[in-house]
Amino acid sequence: MGDFIPVNEPLLDGNEKRYLSECIDSGWVSSDGPFVKKFEKAFGAYLGLPPGVSVCNGTAALETALHALGVQPGDEVIVPSFTIISCALAAIRLGARCVLVDIDPETWCMNVNDIERKITSHTKVIMAVHIYGHPVEMDPVMEIAEKYSLKILEDAAEVHGAEYFSRKRGSRWLRCGSLGDAAAFSFYANKIVTTGEGGMVLSRDPDVLEKAASYRNLCFKPEKRFYHEEIGYNFRMTNLQAAVGLAQLERINEFVAIKRRLGEYYQRRLSEIPCLHFQKEKPWAKSVYWMYAVELNPTLELTAEVVMARLRERKIDTRPFFLGLHAQPVLRELGMVHAENFPHTDAASRYGFYLPSGLTLTESKIDLVCKALADSVKDRF
């Protein structure tokens, strides 16, 4: 598409083709092939955890993980208002209710100071959703979870390789996805490690892993096939997907280094444009800048939609921010969200969008994007 700058392009020029050929040559194309186990082991090891439970996408990973953590009808799950609907669906499908918390306007991650007042006798899990590459402040979340005996599910779809400095866990840097009782990853095509579509549940708790593995595979009993004592799903990942995933994972350090380098460059260039807010790395965070996102200051009197259209005219692809879960018509109709205000989420949804962010981006393309962005808002000051 000529000089069009896409929001994302995966880098698939490592061992992906070779491993895929191995699957095809050997005939192992279902979830029974050897790459599935290899990918699960390698991804778990990357996080310092036992092998994960691979699934068919990140949405399935969230539901499988919540199920494995014991969420049942009538339970409540604390979820940030600013996230993808997958987080709410995972709870709803298990008959649980989502209780929303607004975001910290600086990081767009859940406001950890808003969690405690939302806890009731029904609360079971806090879902900590790391946003656009930047971690949630996890120590306070862990403290609240301990105080009220709650479980933590990290949604780590957007933070492959990001780290959090945990004072609570021995004052050291730990990878996002290894901090809670379980974590859900997505390997959708725009994620840092991709399998096209795919996901994984991680945990250090063997019971959670065993349950997740069973739910993902229709709750077949290993010792008595076609005999079922529980309701499961077919959420299996194929050997073909895992082959791509393993090849991608071999390069994760390189990918994270690219994302951080480009992220830092973007930050320098974006800070030259007045009236823009973007995620600044907190001292306790190592962001992977999964998406280079900006929020326009309302004083510009320009919405994200208007600026995105201006950028599209200049062949620059962008994506809007999430609409808050509290504003989703389907969740409101179902009575699944309560009538509270989430002003920071609303502002982010109205004024936020993300810029080209793929691994194939270059500094000169970032210059073009930032110049176009500056031109698109300059009539306002």
Judged by the rule CB under 6 A, the positions of this chain that interact with ligand PLP are 57-59, 83-84, 86, 129, 155, 157-158, 186, 188, 199
263 vs 377, which CB is nearer to ligand PLP?
Answer: 263
Shortest-Cβ-distance residue relative to ligand PLP: 58
Minimum gap (Å) between residue 159 Cβ and ligand PLP = 9
Rounded Cα gap, residues 20 and 66, in angstroms: 32
51 vs 80, which CB is nearer to ligand PLP?
Answer: 80
84 vs 136, which CB is nearer to ligand PLP?
Answer: 84
Closest CA to 282 of 94, 97, 131, 120: 131
Minimum gap (Å) between residue 181 Cβ and ligand PLP = 17
Minimum gap (Å) between residue 26 Cβ and ligand PLP = 27
79 vs 273, which CB is nearer to ligand PLP?
Answer: 79
Minimum gap (Å) between residue 83 Cβ and ligand PLP = 6
Minimum gap (Å) between residue 253 Cβ and ligand PLP = 22
104 vs 158, which CB is nearer to ligand PLP?
Answer: 158
Give me the DSSP letters along 147-164.
HHT-EEEEE-TT-TT-EE
E strands in the chain: 53-55, 76-80, 97-101, 123-129, 151-155, 163-166, 172-175, 182-186, 199-202, 276-277, 285-286, 293-296, 319-320, 352-354
155 vs 281, which CB is nearer to ligand PLP?
Answer: 155
291 vs 307, which CB is nearer to ligand PLP?
Answer: 291
Rounded Cα gap, residues 239 and 19, in angstroms: 10
Minimum gap (Å) between residue 155 Cβ and ligand PLP = 5
Closest CA to 142 of 108, 185, 174, 99: 174
Which residues lie closer than 8 Å to 101 by C-beta, 6 or more apart? 78, 79, 80, 81, 110, 111, 114, 115, 118
Closest CA to 29 of 38, 37, 17, 20: 20
Minimum gap (Å) between residue 354 Cβ and ligand PLP = 11
270: its two tokens: 């974006």
Strands 123-129 and 76-80, by their bridges, are parallel
